[in-house]
Amino acid sequence: MDALIENFNFKHRPVLLEETMEMLDIKPDGIYVDGTLGGGGHSYEICRRLSEKGRLVGIDRDEAAIQAGSARLAEFQDKVTIVRGDYSDMKRILADFGIEKVDGILLDLGVSSYQLDTPERGFSYKENAPLDMRMDTRYEKTAKDIVNGYSEFDLYRVIRDYGEDKFAKNIAKHIVRVRKDRPIETTDELTEAIKAAIPMKVRKNTGHPAKKTFQAIRIELNRELEALDKSLDEMIGMLADHGRLCIITFHSLEDRIAKRGFKNNENPCTCPPSFPVCICGNKSKGKVITRKPILPTQQEIRYNKRAKSSKLRVFERHL
């Protein structure tokens, strides 16, 4: 584990790093939260910009990320607090340290490079491994339980909604057909079931046939969209005046939640458009800084292919 973490720290390059640091508009004496600590790449750059009075709280539910992030940020230990937990519990976690307001929050969503590159975690369709996909290994339920335990309709719903795959119905049907003979226990076995559901001519002209289904199962298992949807308003409420929430997403479903949530916090009025004045009493919590998401440069995509689908959206709190 230690060797893997050391290698991850050496190779890890956080996406949209310069853009995120600029958008966070870091105050040297401020308090910042990295809700998805990962390898600590973004957090390291935040800490470099903090004074002795500044503080960073790093949160992650993955034990390997906690170890990797702790090692990466060791030189800043006097100003860093690292907690194993879910960012959706941020308010409670910060309250434990007597923190009510912060100057900035960062979320870098999706699966980390370390998780993808560690075959035994079962996140990748490129390596054969047990079907796991847990971001928090304390959680008993795994991807294997979803693949073998969900009804055909529920599998279809997950693959359709979270994978946005037009072959969702056929994929669900093939998974159920295969598991009648024996449980699907590995990533290779799941990949083969998916391939059988997609016409060969389609597979030749598109990306890997298992990509969308693996994404869908991972999102369902780890409740990724639910966590973002549930906590976005609360995180904005934790920001100090002119504090900023920066969210990096990697697929349209996450980006949609961030975009909608920011817009609703900027303009929460529920009055009909025909009303001459607002009477609902809902007041704006701030403004959207990024009318369009910030995208990675072509140069960044060249040296980090995983940055290709990333988008950064930013909201600024106004009290």
Indicate the pairing of strand 55-60 with strand 239-249: unpaired
Phi and psi of 202, rounded to 5°? -75, -45
Of 173, 206, 222, which residue is a domain's last?
Answer: 222
Cα gap 83→96, rounded to integer Å: 11
Cα gap 197→213, rounded to integer Å: 12
Q: Is the dihedral of CA 168, 174, 179, 183 positive or negative?
A: negative
Residue 120 lies in a domain: no
Same domain for 181 and 235, yes or no, is: no
Q: What is the pLDDT of residue 3?
A: 43
Residue 293 belongs to domain with CATH number? 3.40.50.150
Closest CA to 306 of 45, 114, 159: 114
Q: What is the pLDDT of residue 278?
A: 86
Query: Which secondary-structure segment (H or E) carries 311?
Result: strand 311-317
- Domain of residue 151 covers 126-222
Q: What is the pLDDT of residue 12?
A: 59
- Residue 79 in tokens: 């100003």
Same domain for 194 and 254, yes or no, is: no
pLDDT along the chain (319 residues), means of 10: 43 86 98 96 98 98 94 97 98 98 96 85 94 96 98 98 96 98 98 93 80 96 96 98 98 96 95 88 95 97 93 97
Q: For residues 289 and 213, is the Cβ–Cβ distance under 8 A?
A: no
Quote the number of domains for the chain.
2
Same domain for 107 and 230, yes or no, is: yes
Cα gap 124→98, rounded to integer Å: 39
Q: Is the dihedral of CA 309, 154, 226, 65 positive or negative?
A: negative
Same domain for 155 and 231, yes or no, is: no
Residue 121 lies in a domain: no
Same domain for 7 and 101, yes or no, is: yes
Same domain for 134 and 275, yes or no, is: no
Same domain for 233 and 110, yes or no, is: yes
Residue 36 lies in a domain: yes
For residue 237, count other CB atoms closer than 10 A to its CB. 12
Query: Which secondary-structure segment (H or E) carries 172?
Result: helix 168-181
pTM for this one? Answer: 0.92
Of 196, 222, 248, which residue is a domain's last?
Answer: 222
The one-letter code for the residue type at 73 is L
Q: What is the pLDDT of residue 1?
A: 43
Question: What are the Cα distances from residue 70, in Å, to 43, 79, 93, 103, 134?
Answer: 10, 12, 18, 22, 21
Cα gap 62→286, rounded to integer Å: 32
Q: What is the pLDDT of residue 6?
A: 45
For residue 121, count other CB atoms closer than 10 A to its CB. 22
Q: What is the pLDDT of residue 114?
A: 80
